[in-house]
Chain A
Amino acid sequence: MEAPMFSATPLNRRSYRSQSVAKAVFCLMTVALVIPVLLILGTLVVKGAPAISWEFLFTAPTNNLTAGGIFPALVGTIWLVVVALLASVPVGVAAALYLSEYAPDNLLTRAINLAIVNLAGVPSIVHALFGFGAFVLFFRFNASILAASLTLAVMTLPVVIVATRESLQAVPHAFREACWNMGATRWQTIRKVVLPNSISGILTGVILEVSRTSGETAPIMFTGATAYLAFLPESVFDQTMAMSYHLFYIATQATDVPEELTYGVALVLIAIVLMMNAVSIAFRIYLRGLKKW
């Protein structure tokens, strides 16, 4: 018998059921993902918030790190991040520009691209030992902000390169061809059409790099971070305290540190990272509004 028009066939009903199941499973997974995040943040806020004060942020630690604030570590983290950015952003953006806009698509460039992805997968402790060997010993920077930042820069280079390359490739190829057809060189095309339309993605990558750099501990352990310093660093050749290393140290090495203090440091560190991510997201939303095609 012929079914009336527009009534659901058994196939329709089966598709509908499986689509409901799929939706439920995906939703469940998302919840499972959100729960640990909320637990971590909740614990940190509940246990760490009492320690936070202006004084905590802007004074140095005292009594063998069992009291006082975190100011030198905050300043040190800013030093490390800024120097690491100065080293990695120019190199990373230039490399991505070359790979995406100039390099022919051959075995060598594919190998290089693969190597960059692999570089991102190298454990940070390996980067730390490389940085120690290369920058501290070989280049004789000793344990210093410079050595630590360069180690961080090497480690985060893939983030910059991949983010830049992807935002460059998000610019439609037709725009490039249109420019080339008018006799524009590759560089003129990049400067006038490609870069202005990919700068948002590049900056997002840079901000993500900042958040990653400020949280890393292993790479700076042997290369420039120190547990306690009475003064603020004055040049890139000084050692420095850093938030991430400070947290590691008071949590595992120092004795008699009040729990509240440790949680307070962790809360500030994660707040810095989250703030950076928020800035990055806000920035991306803002720039998406300016999108030109």
Chain B
Amino acid sequence: MVDGVGQEQPRSANFGPLYEGPPIIEVRDLGISYGGKPALRDASFDIYRHEIFGIIGPANSGKTSFLRALNRMDDFTTGMEVRGSIHINGKDVNDWRNLYALRSRIGVVFPLPVGLPLSVYDNVAFSPRLRGIRGKAELDEVVERCLTRAALWDEVKDRLDSLGSLLSGGQQQRLTIARALSQEPELLLLDEFSIAVDPVTTMRIEDVLKDLRSELTIVLVTNLVQQARRLADRTAFFLTGEVVEIGATEDLFKRKVQDERTTGYLEGRFG
């Protein structure tokens, strides 16, 4: 698994043609600020169906704010203001009357893992139950599938009744991923998902993400530029609230860049 890193084929060769069909997310003139302090400015770009869209950049560059705006978490964050527009599936996220319907179709994994104080089983069955799935057999199947994909099944299959909030940090992170997958989302937002996960498990999850690409669209915020290189079809470089550059991941890493700052960040010459 780990050996394959660094000698990969270009994305297009792995995954076939990119950018099929209309974009799933259209971001236009997006600005985000907290109590007047800007976090992201004038962002305009598209994210396409079935791509893995990587976002890299140092801390405080607006990456997480962008994810929060996507599923309208600004509603729950006092002082967070969003200007401009985000369309998902052609519909402005501000026009969703039923925000719960919007959020239920977007899976989110934030860097700090949150195991709900429910059993492991109930953690993963939470979202399916919200969707009205009641049958034991069907729930069992969803729980096993999602936990397997999140590379957690083998570790918890004998203690599905134990509390999700008492798992180790890395396990809780994978539980969070399993929960996000249990939503059967059209869009998966991953914010530093591997921060508490060991490298071997990270690779297993990365493999799953590559497989998932055929079913959904993934926005991957990561501090690990090599992770973006391994996974993302296209990568955006955010810097202090500015979208500096967006391009095919291989181009960025082959230094076919437009902005000097991108090269600087990729080479670790940033200070």
A62 interfacial by beta-carbon distance below 8 Å: no
B-facing mask of A183-203, CB < 8 A → 1, else 0?
111001000110011000000
In the assembly, what is the distance between CA of A188 and CA of B101, in Å? 13
Of B36-44, B47-55, B109-117, B215-223, which binds chain A?
B109-117
B166 interfacial by beta-carbon distance below 8 Å: yes
Q: Is the CB of B130 within 8 A of A182?
A: yes
B19 interfacial by beta-carbon distance below 8 Å: no
In the assembly, what is the distance between CA of A245 and CA of B106, in Å? 61
A293 interfacial by beta-carbon distance below 8 Å: yes
Q: Is the CB of B116 within 8 A of A193?
A: yes
A55 interfacial by beta-carbon distance below 8 Å: no
Given contacts A192-B118, A193-B118, contact A177 B76 (CB under 8 A): yes
A contact residues around B210 at 8 Å (CB) = none
Identity of the chain B residue whose Cβ is nearest the Cβ of A291 in the assembled complex:
B117
* Cβ of A177 to closest chain B Cβ, rounded Å: 7
* Cβ of B264 to closest chain A Cβ, rounded Å: 34
A-facing mask of B51-83, CB < 8 A → 1, else 0?
000000000000000000001010010100000
Identity of the chain B residue whose Cβ is nearest the Cβ of A182 in the assembled complex:
B127
Q: Is the CB of B76 within 8 A of A178?
A: no
* Cβ of B162 to closest chain A Cβ, rounded Å: 11
Given contacts A179-B126, A183-B100, contact A174 B112 (CB under 8 A): yes
Given contacts A177-B73, A181-B73, A183-B100, contact A193 B117 (CB under 8 A): yes
Which of B78, B110, B130 lies at the interface centre, i.e. has the most chain A CB atoms within 10 A of its CB? B130
Q: Is the CB of A197 within 8 A of B130?
A: no
- Per a CB cutoff under 8 Å, which of B76, B101, B166 touches A183? B101
A contact residues around B183 at 8 Å (CB) = 182-183
* Cβ of B35 to closest chain A Cβ, rounded Å: 13
Interface residues of B in 156-203 (CB under 8 A from A): 163, 165-166, 176, 179-180, 183
Q: Is the CB of B117 within 8 A of A292?
A: yes
A286 interfacial by beta-carbon distance below 8 Å: no
Identity of the chain A residue whose Cβ is nearest the Cβ of B112 in the assembled complex:
A174
A180 interfacial by beta-carbon distance below 8 Å: yes
Q: Is the CB of A182 within 8 A of B117?
A: no
Q: Is the CB of B165 within 8 A of A292?
A: yes
Q: Is the CB of A188 within 8 A of B78?
A: no
Q: Is the CB of B76 within 8 A of A182?
A: no
A234 interfacial by beta-carbon distance below 8 Å: no
* Cβ of A288 to closest chain B Cβ, rounded Å: 14
Identity of the chain B residue whose Cβ is nearest the Cβ of A185 in the assembled complex:
B100
Given contacts A174-B114, A197-B117, A293-B166, contact A180 B127 (CB under 8 A): no
A16 interfacial by beta-carbon distance below 8 Å: no
Identity of the chain B residue whose Cβ is nearest the Cβ of A171 in the assembled complex:
B117
A contact residues around B115 at 8 Å (CB) = 293
B contact residues around A197 at 8 Å (CB) = 117
A-facing mask of B22-36, CB < 8 A → 1, else 0?
000000000000000
Q: Is the CB of A293 within 8 A of B165?
A: yes
- Per a CB cutoff under 8 Å, which of B101, B114, B130, B180 touches A177? B114
Q: Is the CB of A184 within 8 A of B126?
A: yes
* Cβ of A168 to closest chain B Cβ, rounded Å: 14
* Cβ of B152 to closest chain A Cβ, rounded Å: 16
Q: Is the CB of B176 within 8 A of A178?
A: yes
B-facing mask of A148-179, CB < 8 A → 1, else 0?
00000000000000000000000000110111
Interface residues of B in 124-168 (CB under 8 A from A): 126-127, 130, 163, 165-166
Given contacts A177-B73, A179-B126, A293-B165, contact A184 B116 (CB under 8 A): no
Interface residues of A in 101-140 (CB under 8 A from B): 105
In the assembly, what is the distance between CA of A105 and CA of B71, in Å? 21
Which of A177, A178, A183, A193 lies at the interface centre, i.e. has the most chain B CB atoms within 10 A of its CB? A183
In the assembly, what is the distance between CA of A107 and CA of B134, in Å? 43
* Cβ of B128 to closest chain A Cβ, rounded Å: 10
A contact residues around B235 at 8 Å (CB) = none
In the assembly, what is the distance between CA of A182 and CA of B76, in Å? 14
- Per a CB cutoff under 8 Å, which of B73, B110, B126, B166 touches A182? B126
* Cβ of B257 to closest chain A Cβ, rounded Å: 34
Beyond the given A178-B176, A188-B130, please list 12 additional residue pairs across the A-B interface where CB-CB is below 8 A: A175-B117, A178-B114, A179-B116, A182-B126, A182-B183, A183-B102, A183-B105, A193-B118, A292-B117, A292-B163, A293-B117, A293-B166
Q: Can you spell out 14 A-B residue pairs with CB atoms less than 8 angstroms apart?
A: A174-B112, A177-B110, A178-B116, A178-B176, A178-B179, A180-B76, A181-B71, A181-B103, A182-B103, A182-B107, A182-B183, A188-B130, A192-B126, A292-B117
Shortest Cβ-Cβ A-B pairs, 8 listed = A183-B104, A292-B117, A293-B165, A183-B103, A178-B114, A181-B108, A182-B127, A183-B100
